[in-house]
Amino acid sequence: MNLNRTKKESSDSILYKLYGLVKPYDHLQTAAMVVLLTTGLSFIYSTGQQVGGSTADIFWQRQLQWLGLGICVWLFMSIFDYRMLKFFAPLVYICCIILLIAVLIWGTRIYGAQRWLVFRAGGRIRLQPSEFAKLGTIMFLAMILSWQKFRVNNIFYLLLVGVITLIPFILIVVEPDLGSAMILLPILAGMIFVAGIKWKYIIIAMTCATIFIAAEILNEVYEVKPLLRGYQKERIMVFLNPERDLNNRGYNQFQARLAVGSGGLRGKGFGKGTQNTLGFLPQSVSNNDFIFSVIAEETGFIGATALILTYILLLYTMLRTAWLATEPFGRYLAVGIAVVFFVHSFINIGMSLGIMPITGLPLPQVSYGGSFLIFTMLCLGILQSIYINSRRTE
């Protein structure tokens, strides 16, 4: 009798300790993360079926391996005091800049772009430094913005944060990866907006941006000194006129839109989407850039809407974490990360719907790719750390 009671008390004690470990976490954000990761793995498996044979399992098995590493990163960062990142921010930023330079010198060129560093020790690992440069830039900007003497409406300080953003922006553009580089601009805009920049500077910035865009359009049209590469210009032209080149540049987006439209209300069923399984939507893009199209075709309007609502929920928890943050560094970190997730989600889903030009930005937590998955898990771990420490402080 006493032995059974001892075992029960021991079991209750273990459960109580486990509950004590998970209690401080943002369970709403964790639930959204789990839903997205599960969705990603499931439909990466589904996109592999068009290849068939043993190859069908390669993609989701690789993603599963990256996910295992990502969960370890997420757990570590969630128990790590995010405030320590302030001291490492300059070093992380410098390391990211070094990696961006290294990829221009020693990087591997794939599909005409030199964006990856390949390590063959113990296997073949591909690293995309531009993904981690986003977090390095966010951390450094958050550190600068949280300085006690920092004044966001001072021209000198605005130029400082502008230069910090411009350096990785230029290096990423040179790769070339204009889509990833453009993400840095809304990151900067979102963070300085939260820092309290005056509306007159916002209006000046928007006016300058409008003039620059108009001048760039004229520059490209009359080919005075074109800045865009041929394929980038063609992507924009295809976006403006989808039927311009259906057999080449416009093919993938056209097939993606067909997949979304053919899903109907409830979809065709898991693994039964014809655009995917018959290969009309190529394997090279179906599990990454256009995975939303596969999800929409196989789960229909209901599934696609549920996925979008999950992203809205995730973004809500991020902004709530920023609101709960008890000091500026955590608030700016959370806002910068929220901007990354919002822009990636909006543009990727927009590409499948035909309302955004093709930029090659993956869908957070869902698209295939190791570097971006680790990056997003790292960001979510930092958000959990901000949430946990803020609740403890309260």
pLDDT tens by residue, the chain, 394 residues: 555 555 555 555 655 554 556 678 899 999 999 999 999 999 988 887 765 555 567 888 889 999 999 999 999 999 999 999 999 999 999 999 999 999 988 877 776 677 888 776 555 677 888 889 999 999 999 999 998 888 888 889 999 999 999 999 999 988 888 888 999 999 999 999 999 899 888 898 889 889 988 887 777 777 767 777 776 677 777 777 767 767 777 788 888 888 898 888 888 888 888 887 777 777 777 888 899 999 999 999 999 999 999 999 999 999 999 999 989 999 999 999 999 999 999 999 999 888 888 887 899 999 998 889 999 999 999 999 999 988 766 5
Residue 365 phi/psi, 5° resolution?
70, -10
Tell me how far apart the alpha carbons of residues 100 and 133 are, in angstroms, rounded to a whole number: 8
Q: Report the C-alpha gap between 208 and 202 in whole angstroms.
A: 10
pLDDT of 299:
93
**Sequence spans of domains, the chain:** 27-393
Residues 356 and 350: their CA atoms lie apart, in Å, by 5
Q: Are 391 and 24 in contact (CB under 8 A)?
A: yes
Two tokens, residue 373: 């998955």
Give the model's pLDDT for residue 184: 94
**53-61 LR contacts (CB < 8 Å, sep 24+):** 59/287, 59/368
| Residue 198 three-state SS | coil
Q: Which of 174, 165, 175 is nearest to 133 (CA)?
A: 165
What is the bridge-based pairing of β-strands 108-110 and 125-127? unpaired
Neighbouring residues of 342: CB distance < 8 A, sequence distance ≥ 6: 315
Q: Do residues 353 and 260 make contact, with C-beta atoms less than 8 angstroms apart? A: yes
Which DSSP helix (H) or strand (E) runs through 116? strand 113-119
Listed residue (266, 343, 365, 391) closest to 33, CA to CA: 365
